[in-house]
Structure 1
Amino acid sequence: MASVLKKQTFSKEQRQKRNYLIHWLYIRKEYDECLELIDDTLKKVDQLAEYPLFIKGLITRHQGKIHESLSLFQQAGQINPRNVETIKQISRSLFLLGRHKAASEVLDEAIRLGFTEDWEIWHNKGMCLSQLKRLEDAKDALMRANSIQRHDCTFIQLGQILTQEEKYQEAIDVYLEALEFSPENPELLTTVGLLYLRTGENFRAFDFLGNSLTHDPRNSKTILAAGSIIQDHSDMDVALVKYRVAAVQTPNSAQLWNNIGMCFFGKQRHVAAIACLKKALYLDPFEWIISYNLGLVHLHTEQYASAFHYFSSSINLKPDFPSSYMQLAIALSRLDDYDNACAAYEKAIEMDSDFLFHLNYAVMLVNNGQVDKAREQFDQFEALYAEADEETKNSDKDVGVMRSLLMNVLGRN
């Protein structure tokens, strides 16, 4: 009887005071004390207190107890089914559990209840639909969110979908629009820079990446991208200085160690290059480009068996990269495996019309006495070489030298 009287005397004013204290403890991140007060409050009111349940749901989710948080938000939702904040948190917990369809349906219910002008609902719906691979519907939801209220996270999510669809220019346009409202956002600046880098506009990419670094000079992602552009222009020492800063922030980045390794390779420091690339491979054994680069370094140092091993590994991870087959063919030819080298060249040529493939194939055929077949490959090389622009022709001096030698050997002068 005493406990019943205690529950009855727990007045509305007392609840409000407790809710205030719960809120105060929560924003101070004093979670243990907050949970004690919540549990005591819920015990006094037979678990029928919306706000304590809501805050407990937030804390348990922060602690990684997603299922428990979902149950708590659903309890709070039963007490007040029209509370849009609770509905959004139910959806969020479902999303984190990978139940994207259910999360989207909960948001649909919020929209049916009349909450049509809440940007967060449309943003979260866009994220759910993106995970469900309904990309057009996802883009519509995200654009609806932006029409209500612009947020950087919505622009970023929309840009990611467009990038996924390989609509790079549209993605750039979305990010540039976002930068009109957040011109100093390093993440947006870096993302635009990376997209320009992907589309081959290196100067514009470097401009955005440099701007990003002025706002966040220790952003490892930005440093890595800027360093790769510097590295592409053969300024290995400056690139290594950049990478040294990034290594402090992300010492276990496979991509970083891969780039450092290729810097050392460019400086002809092969032992250091192999050491860095092997560290990158240890950190990410399924990244095909690291195996490919290890193959290049071993091929350059005449370790042909090791080169064969790494090129084979790269092909297993990414079988649609034609240059891997050409490099594998070179390694095989150095190992005197003529038949398999021919097969690798044929595979590379089947996948892509690159004059280098035909040139190297012709060289191998000449070295093996197959002059007639070499002439066929050289003629195909000449046809493709004639179509290339001057920049491409002059990018590798060895091509011109080898072309002249083959012309003499094959009587093509």
Structure 2
Amino acid sequence: MASADEIICNGHVITLPTLEVVKAVPIMAAGTNIDWLLHLYYARRDFIRCRIIIERELRSSLNPEYMYFVKGLIDREEGNNIEALRNLQKALDLNSKNIEIYKEIGKTLFIMGRFNQALDIFREAEELSPRQDHEICHFIGELLHRSAAAANQLAIARKEEAEAKFYFEKAVQAGKKLESFQRLAEILRKEKDYAKAIEVLENCLLLSPENTEVLTEIGVLYLKINDTQNAFDRLSEVIALDRKSPKGLLAYGAILQAISSLRKSIWLSPLNYNALYNLSLVYITAQQYASAFHTLAAAINLRKDSAECYMLLGICLRKLEDTENAFKAFQRSSDIQQQQQQQQDAGRNPLVHLNFALFCYETGRVALATEQFTRFVSSSQDLLLPTEYKFQATKLKSLLKVSTSNILTSTPTGLACDANAKPSDEIDSQLTGSANNNNNNSSSADNMSNKSIDDIYGIYGVKRQTAGTKQELHNTKAQALATAALAAASTMSAAEMPLEVHAVVNA
């Protein structure tokens, strides 16, 4: 008869293969280095076989340092921190220059809550390390950050907080540890340096693009600097990734709550122009362009001389791909703005001309875009422009390749900067013009407009003619515009221009 491990098949006895997949721990000759095998089992988290190898080879091994090291790590994984410290200390006694042992001892003390001792260990490791180690820098920054939070004296707390920030910056430079980016952004947020905190967290997204915690924090920081559009975009990503994120839903609802509040105010007061205007801004930020269109239509019925409403209407129509009516809305907003400037009204908004110029450039109306850009420069004199306006104007100037000398003939100071200049310096130069030039410019608005048009046509090779038929002039102008549009096409593809700059909420 065949045994339990054998079967009879076609008159032959066949031995069944064993079902044991993992073999027993191999027996090595005395003095053989088996650190590689120990590391292999530890990486597989096979702690039982690790202990078998350590207990068998510890006494006979010529170099038991790594065995004590691994044994300490296993003890810490199993929650026996005291025994882990003892084994790690034995490994350190055998090799007092091993940075990894210092780091693991410091981590164990950190887990045990002995923060002062852990800080001393990590500082010793920093002195011994031949290079900048991101783990050492991170834990030193973490321990200093905790110490600053628990400090009784304000001076000591500020000093430790500054040192913690320094070490987190070193950790970010030395390695890619997600917690280092988050801690550094947390400190920058406490310092109210929101722009720098956003930059740090945006870099953090390169490590973890779908981290909802980081995305939520970026959205909240954008709300801090009143950048509702970017905040809405980031928080929309959070909701798309995790519909049950409490913090993300709370911040997202804070933006949407503005819509319900404004709608309720309009229901209570249907003829409230400010409520309609602000609701349209919120709709545009939320990318609900059809709703924004209807709201703006109601606002325009109440105030037909509002250049800002027509400008926003043009933005909505552009987003709804109705470029023909969008052009009419932008043109109407520019005409109203020009009339108000000639009448010296208080409402002067250069953003109207900037948005119209961007739209004209996108749709191939290069000469008209240059004209509107010139009006933007003229109307923005003596005004403190936001950085975003300056940035968009700088990009548009470089794309239009506007000649500074021609602009100078129509505006006192112009944009006397290079196309590669910083946005903050680009339009600041035109804000420092003399008072005499400003007075001359304001007293001759009509002459300035006509002269600037002549100069713009001159850039593209077309000059206003004193004689000749209107059809000849129209054909020449159309040919020049077509040539300019083709010349700008390559530049347009290289540097895509956004359509609009966000408008300012009407108070």
Q: TM-score, normalised by structure 2?
A: 0.39
Q: Whose radius of gyration is greater, 1 or 2?
A: 2
Which structure exhibits the higher relative contact order, with contacts defined as CA atoms closer than 8 Å and separated by 6 or more residues? 2
Bigger fraction of residues in helix:
1
